Amino acid sequence: MKFYQMSPQERRKELAKHGASLEPVAEETLARLNDMSENVVGEIALPLSCLTGAVVNGKQWQIPMATEEASVVAAANHGFSVFAKNGGVTAHSQRDGIYGQIVLEVGADFSLPDFNAHFPAYIDLANQEFSSLVGHGGGLRQISARQEGDLLYLLALIDPAEAMGANKANAILEFLAEKMQAEPGVKVKLFAILSNYPSQLTKAEVTLPFASLTKDGDVARGEEIAKKMALLSRIGQTDVYRAVTNNKGIMNGVDAVLAATGNDTRAVEAASHAYAVKDGKYQSLSSWTIEGGALRGRIALPLALGVVGGSISSRPDIRQSYSILGKIKAGDLANLVASVALANNFAAINAISTKGIQAGHMRLQTRNVVDLLEATPAEKKAVFDLMTSQHKYGETAAKVFLKELRGR
């Protein structure tokens, strides 16, 4: 029997024969996971964290984040704490639709003007066939085409309503492609599939007076920090080495919310990095500038998100995230994701501009090191305090401090 034909339990036994040590998983959980993917042998769990102080568009939100990296949650929390003191984040999501692409091979007798004339009829036909999507406020919005030699490239804009819409878009595209093959001069369909090209653009911005950038409200010191943050941001617009690291930090927060809400992290990552190069060179997705005696932060992200469909309703771990969020529309979720991205970016650039980013990272990493010690909770706390106060990190330092404590 081939591996994919085995039950999850049989696969686990097969791996055990080769020395694999798998974590215990409840049988009902394993069965549910097996319905979701292929060759399932277990599960990987992530901590589910929650931001409680996020003010976006005048409303306070509780935002779930799924990540194993404590610094990501801490950074978002810090960013939002500063934002909230200044009225929070203003965000807007433009949800015109997602793109789908059809490519057809055509012959010498093909007429593009004649083909274009049929687009209104194709739109009506598709929306009749997929009337359930239209009933939810979505549907096929427009079709455009360009011809390059014997290839015809069609771009369809599909409004997925409150869903991310990949499966529905693919179904619409296949339906259209099948009908279009009957057009004069069309030879064969090469493919019909969703494109992850940037769409559903969401923008978020925040304005921070200089005084709010310091704990004591020192305006002069705040202005100094703001100028350095603006300079770092400018470097991210011109230097690709800084830009890609800046954007990675942004996506830390984005991916954590997407993972918690059952959205497609890979699609958003691909679209975001394509958007970062829209002007011909790779740039930061965010910008920080000095305007009117304050620091102004802006970010724009292509966020094709959904709050229904896919695995959202079938996964209990995802449903709990929506119980945290409350009833929410896809546009609101996109606003929250962009705001988290801005908060994470603020925290990173602010740290670089002040105390440096490594100190916070090392403090959080020390927790993981100490947690692995074979020690009592009291001993772990004492070791953690010694490591952070003396700025000595790593497994070796932890063991040395534990030995010293026990020697006393």
Active site residues: 69, 248, 264, 361
R_g of the chain, CA atoms, integer Å: 26
Residue 140, Cβ density class (10 Å: 0-12 exposed, 13-18 middle, ≥19 buried):
buried
Angle 288-197-67 from CA coordinates, rounded to 5°: 60
Using CA atoms, how far apart are residues 334 and 51, in angstroms rounded to an integer? 16
How many residues in the chain?
408
C-alpha dist (Å) from residue 176 to 100, 105, 183: 11, 15, 11
The amino acid at 328: I
Question: CA 303, CA 272: separation in Å to the nearest integer?
Answer: 8
Report the distance separating Cα 264 and Cα 164, nearest Å: 8
- Separation between Cα atoms, residue 334 and residue 57, nearest integer Å: 12
Helix pair angle (330-353, 240-260), 10° resolution: 140
Across 260-269, b (16+ Cβ under 10 Å) vs e yields bbbbbeebbb
**Half-sphere exposure (CA, 13 Å, Cβ side) for 285?**
34
Q: Answer whether 250's CB lies under 8 Å from 344's CB.
A: yes
Report the alpha-carbon distance of residue 160 to residue 234 in Å, rounded.
36
- Residue 224, exposed/middle/buried by CB under 10 A (0-12, 13-18, 19+)? middle
Which candidate, 191, 209, 196, places its Cα nearest to that of 87? 209
Q: Quote the distance between the C-alpha of residue 176 and its chain's center.
A: 30
